[in-house]
Structure formats: C-alpha cells, structure tokens
Amino acid sequence: MKIFNIRDFYQKKYQEYIVGSSEIGKHSVYLVYGEVVTGEVRTMAPGGHDEILFLLSGKATLEDGGMKTPIQEEQAVYLGSDEILTFTALTECRYVIAGTHTTPHEH
C-alpha cells in the first residue's frame, strides 16, 4: 500500500493532478484529479487509454461531434480510448478520472 497526497502531483501541462506510472512504478493504471472554473473548456482525449470520468461536484456538458450531453454531480461517464470530447464547466467542477492502458505505448 502507498498513500499519495494528490496536491503534490500537479502537472501544469494538463492542469490536473495525476498519480501515474512514475508514482506507482507500473504502467497499468492512473488517477487524475481536476478542478475547473465556470465557463472553462477542456479537451478530454484518453489517447490510447480507457477512462471513467466521475464528476465529484458541479454541472458540465460533454460534446462529441456536435452532440452535447449534460452531466452533473455524482455522474460518471466512460470514455473509450479513441474518443475526443469537449468538457465545458457550467458551474465550478471537480472531477476524478480513473484510467488504464488498453494497449502498450510510451508517454
């Protein structure tokens, strides 16, 4: 067992806190924590990973090819490895992403 203080793992490139392969010593799973202000837009692109996005708090929309899907606090969404979605925060949001590597690749 290993305990992580999530705030120690901020990655400016992604604007998220990430516990991944360099922290756990395996290239199999990772955890992401994000905070988004009202009106902020982010691209959610798993890029070869399967992910589950869990909205801890707030309201947002996910857009895929012009189709907007609303999500709200305590809802989760599966994102396939080849999907690219636009996340728009309708209110301040906090989320967690749990992901796994479906195919071997390097970062």
pLDDT digits (tens, 9 = 90+) for 50-102: 999 999 999 999 999 889 999 999 999 999 888 999 999 999 999 999 998 76
What's the CATH code of the domain at 90? 2.60.120.10
**Rounded CA separation 12/72 (Å):** 26
Q: Where does residue 60 rank: exposed (0-12), middle (13-18), buried (19+ CB within 10 A)?
A: buried
> Which pLDDT value is given to residue 25?
76
Percent of the chain at pLDDT exceeding 90: 64
Let me know if residue 87 belongs to a domain.
yes
In a domain, 100, yes or no: yes
- Confidence (pTM): 0.86
Domain range for residue 102?
31-107
Q: How many domains does the chain contain in total?
A: 1
